[in-house]
Structure 1
Amino acid sequence: MKGIIHLLPVLLIALFFSLSFGFDKSILSELLTEEIKKSTIDKEVQIGQIKFIGLALSASPQENATHFEPKGNCIPENLKIREIKRPSSIEFTFYCGRSLYRAIANYEVLIPLYVTQRNLRRGDKINEEDIIEIKHPLSRIPSGALTDKNSIIGKIVKKIVAKGVILKEEHIYQGIPVKKGSRVNLIINAGHIMVITEGILKSDATVGGNVRVQCFHTGKEVEGKLIDKDKVRVSL
């Protein structure tokens, strides 16, 4: 028992040094991320598991051929991509000290999503300061999430959206919204004849979408396309 107690400090010191001077994969992940962005993938990625599969070149004949993972605190350099095996796996080599190692890594392509910075009300116009960009793995993007900032800025909120929510198509009007009851010019085309009159929208609509309009002069409802915020075209 006394022997075990005497050995305990030695074991703890050995454990400390093994943890302190173990190979740091974070530097390797950063190098690989940069190389992937330079490759045909050309996107920002998140590196997952890295598996060492062999020594391509040993530092000396005495080095064990089964010693696949770098030891100590050597710094990886001269990383080269060998093969993109499938959309989420890549094989590469790198030097650590004088040895050349081979490894395989899993990765996820990251896509920008946009999260609300404040509570948004129906009818609010979305400005730059209302959203923040986050990076999200492509394989786990929520259905309908908006990934293009230009499709968000300046758009009108369709319904209440709480702070901290990922913006989706269902949250905003893609066109310019026009409210039910708005007065519009009604442009009626019948062959070579065009008649311009006035009417009132019978429902909320967006520019570019179809809408029903009640004509002031006849009282009848017709269906047309909202071509501007105050113009509806009807083809008979």
Structure 2
Amino acid sequence: MDPASGRFVANAIDDTGGLHRVSGLAAVMVPLPVPNRRLMPGDIVAAEDLTEMRLPQARLGPYAVVEPEAVIGMQVRRMLPEGRPVMVQSVMQPLVIDRGDEVTITFSDGAMRLSAPGRALSDAHRGQDVRIVNTSSNTTLTGTAVAEGIVEVSR
């Protein structure tokens, strides 16, 4: 067998002892999640949006998602057509802060906790740095998006 092409040749013996040469193409089939409907940018992928399809491994690109867990709960970055493999770069962690959102700025140091109103200057995923404006003092800060509408600032 040629592992690169999947072509094989074998000798088979039938019930009467006759020798037959058999050749063919072997293909490893890989199960992968594909959308069962068109998903548009901004949509959050749910388990019911996916179905399993089996494709030959040779047809999969290096960036095709093969585990449903890697897609479920992600936000669609580029339109995902129905029945086509999902590429890693087509989905992202969901945004918890959108540019222009009103946010709560928090700061903690030991037992002291402070909070102030603010406005986001850019989009952010959970754990990502985001620039914000403290609307009370009109000061620009950089903090970490910790939850929907909450930015934590450290020293």
How does the TM-score come out when normalised to structure 1? 0.51
Partner of 2:143: 224
Change (3 A) 1:139 1:234: farther
Partner of 1:202: 121
Q: Check if 1:51 corresponds to 2:51.
A: no
Looking at structure 2, the residues matched to 191 and 129 of structure 1 have their Cα atoms a distance apart, in angstroms, of 44
Q: Check if 1:119 corresponds to 2:38.
A: yes
SS at match of 1:235: coil
CA RMSD of aligned residues (A): 3.4
**Alpha-carbon deviation of 1:121?**
1.7
**Alpha-carbon deviation of 1:209?**
1.7
Partner of 1:156: 75
Q: Deviations over 1:37-73 (max 9, x none)?
A: xxxxxxxxxxx43323xxxxxxxxxxxxxxx432xxx
Partner of 2:60: 141
Moved more, 105-114 or 155-164: 105-114
Q: Radius of gyration: which is bigger? A: 1
The 5 A counterparts of 1:47-196 are 48-52=6-10, 68-70=11-13, 74=14, 109-138=28-57, 140-189=59-108, 194-196=113-115
Contact 1:156/1:177 (CA < 8 Å) preserved in 2? no
Looking at structure 1, the residues matched to 25 and 65 of structure 2 have their Cα atoms a distance apart, in angstroms, of 26
Q: When the two structures are aligned, how many residues end up with a matched partner? A: 150
Report percent identity of matched pairs.
23
**Alpha-carbon deviation of 1:142?**
1.9
**Alpha-carbon deviation of 1:200?**
1.4
Partner of 2:133: 214
**Alpha-carbon deviation of 1:141?**
2.9
Change (3 A) 1:129 1:198: same
Which structure exhibits the higher relative contact order, with contacts defined as CA atoms closer than 8 Å and separated by 6 or more residues? 2
Q: Deviations over 1:86-145 (max 9, x none)?
A: xxxxxxxxxx6789xxx9x98655433222222222222323342222233445532432
Contact 2:8/2:26 (CA < 8 Å) preserved in 1? no
Structure with bigger helix share is 1
Looking at structure 2, the residues matched to 183 and 218 of structure 1 have their Cα atoms a distance apart, in angstroms, of 15
How does the TM-score come out when normalised to structure 2? 0.72
Looking at structure 2, the residues matched to 144 and 209 of structure 1 have their Cα atoms a distance apart, in angstroms, of 23
List runs of 5+ in structure 2 lacking aligned partners.
1-5
Q: Deviations over 1:154-194 (max 9, x none)?
A: 33222333333321222222245432222221113568864
Change (3 A) 1:151 1:97: farther
List runs of 5+ in structure 1 lacking aligned partners.
1-47, 53-67, 75-95
